[in-house]
């Protein structure tokens, strides 16, 4: 998959405070340099904003449930954008079921699931932590 | 009466102005980005209004540029408390990116959503 990548951008997160807005800023810069922002038209704008929303959800999950994010990668592929958030946690992100719209909690991975073409978790055998990845359609 | 709630550790990505409308209603105007790092800046004035018995919470979202599930949780938490006390949370003038979060999750159905402040404030009926 990575051989399709036309641009890979990596942000070390580590101990920095304010990682969630930092990750959004980093991603917004990438989308701007790729010409996806500022967006022309409501659909393209929504597609770009969805990428920022998914980044926010993945990095927040790493902060809340996985001992903090270590690294964000934003990868431009032929027709998609791939987000990878590496953390130190052993847990498994799982959309909460049933999803209850009116109650706090369980919305983050629900949003990721709804907005992404696919998502998953990668682990390296024997190494701590994991990478949660998600792919969204690039703005057409 | 105006009160300012400003985050301290980081340059504030969110500012919330809270104004008491009458004995039962509070107007909150968050400006900026609502996420993991700023949620408390909105949660505190929401809880303060609820603690004081003001259970009609009107949130003017015109200046809210970003909201994710953490921000949604703050508003859903306030909504549970407000409704338990006979009130409600009214969301006003959401921008498309913010409205989308409420639409995707289905949470828009549990709030009263207004296009403008005129219909959300209590003296307008």
Look at residue B24 in the predicted model and tell me its pLDDT: 97
Look at residue B5 in the predicted model and tell me its pLDDT: 43
Confidence (pTM): 0.92
pLDDT digits (tens, 9 = 90+) for A74-98: 999 999 999 999 999 988 888 888 9
- Only one residue has tokens 């954008």, namely A81
Look at residue B3 in the predicted model and tell me its pLDDT: 47
Which residues of A fall within a CB distance of 8 Å from B70?
60, 108
Least CB–CB distance from A60: residue in B70, B80, B97: B70
Q: Which residues is B30 bridged to in the sheet?
A: B16
Report the first-to-last Cα separation within chain A, whole angstroms: 20
> How close A36 comes to chain B (CA, Å)?
16
Where are any strands of DSSP class E within chain B?
Answer: 2-6, 14-22, 25-34, 56-60, 64-67, 88-92, 112-114
Kindly give the confidence (pLDDT) of every residue in chain B, 125 residues in length, as a single tens digit, with 9 standing for 90 and above: 444 444 444 577 999 999 999 999 999 999 999 999 999 999 999 999 999 999 999 999 999 999 999 999 999 999 999 999 999 999 999 999 999 999 999 999 999 999 999 999 976 44
Least CB–CB distance from B68: residue in A18, A45, A53: A53
Look at residue A139 in the predicted model and tell me its pLDDT: 80
DSSP code of residue A139: P
State the Cα–Cα distance between residues B28 and A132, nearest whole angstrom. 36
- Quote helix, strand, coil % in chain A, to nearest 5: 35, 25, 40
Taking CA–CA distances from A44, the nearest residue in chain B reads B97
State the Cα–Cα distance between residues A49 and A114, nearest whole angstrom. 14
Where are any strands of DSSP class E within chain A?
Answer: 7-12, 69-76, 80-87, 118-122, 130-137
**How many Cβ atoms from other residues are within 10 Å of residue B123's Cβ?**
7
Q: Which two tokens stand for residue B53?
A: 């018995």
Look at residue A95 in the predicted model and tell me its pLDDT: 87
Residue % of chain A over a pLDDT of 70: 97
pLDDT, average across residues A104-108: 96
- Residue predicted with more confidence, A6 or B112: B112
Look at residue B4 in the predicted model and tell me its pLDDT: 45
State the Cα–Cα distance between residues B96 and B65, nearest whole angstrom. 9
B47 interface with A at CB cutoff 8 Å? no
Contact B35 A45 (CB under 8 A): no
A13-17, A47-51, B27-31: least confidently modelled range:
A13-17
Contact B76 A46 (CB under 8 A): no
Has residue A26 got a pLDDT over 70? yes
Contact B107 A102 (CB under 8 A): yes
Backbone angles phi, psi at A42, to 5 degrees: -65, -40
Has residue A52 got a pLDDT over 70? yes
Instruction: Give chain A's mean pLDDT.
Output: 92
> How close A17 comes to chain B (CA, Å)?
8
> How close A125 comes to chain B (CA, Å)?
31
State the Cα–Cα distance between residues A44 and B115, nearest whole angstrom. 23
């Amino acid at each position: 998959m990575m051989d399709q990548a036309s641009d890979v951008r990596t942000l070390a997160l580590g101990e920095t405070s304010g990682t969630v807005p930092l990750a959004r800023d980093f991603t917004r810069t990438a989308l701007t340099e790729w010409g996806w922002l500022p967006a022309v038209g409501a659909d393209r704008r929504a597609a770009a904003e969805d990428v920022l929303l998914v980044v926010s959800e993945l990095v927040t999950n790493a902060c809340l449930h996985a001992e903090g994010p270590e690294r964000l990668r934003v990868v431009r592929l032929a027709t998609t954008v791939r987000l990878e958030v590496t953390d130190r946690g052993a847990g498994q992100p799982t959309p909460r079921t049933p999803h209850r719209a009116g109650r706090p909690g369980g919305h983050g991975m629900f949003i990721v699931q709804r907005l992404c073409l696919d998502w998953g978790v990668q682990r390296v055998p024997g190494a701590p932590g994991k990478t949660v990845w998600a792919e969204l359609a690039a703005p057409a | 009466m105006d009160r300012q709630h400003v985050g301290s550790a980081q340059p504030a990505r969110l500012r919330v102005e809270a104004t008491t409308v009458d004995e039962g209603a509070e107007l909150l105007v968050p400006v900026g980005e609502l996420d993991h790092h700023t949620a408390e800046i909105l949660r505190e004035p929401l809880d303060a209004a609820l603690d004081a018995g003001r259970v009609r919470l009107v949130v003017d979202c015109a200046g809210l540029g970003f909201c994710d599930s953490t921000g949604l949780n703050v508003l859903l938490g306030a909504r549970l408390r407000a409704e338990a006390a006979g009130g409600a949370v009214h969301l006003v003038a959401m921008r498309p990116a913010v409205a989308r979060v409420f639409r995707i999750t289905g949470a828009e159905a549990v709030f009263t959503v207004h296009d403008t402040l005129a219909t959300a404030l209590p003296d307008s009926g």
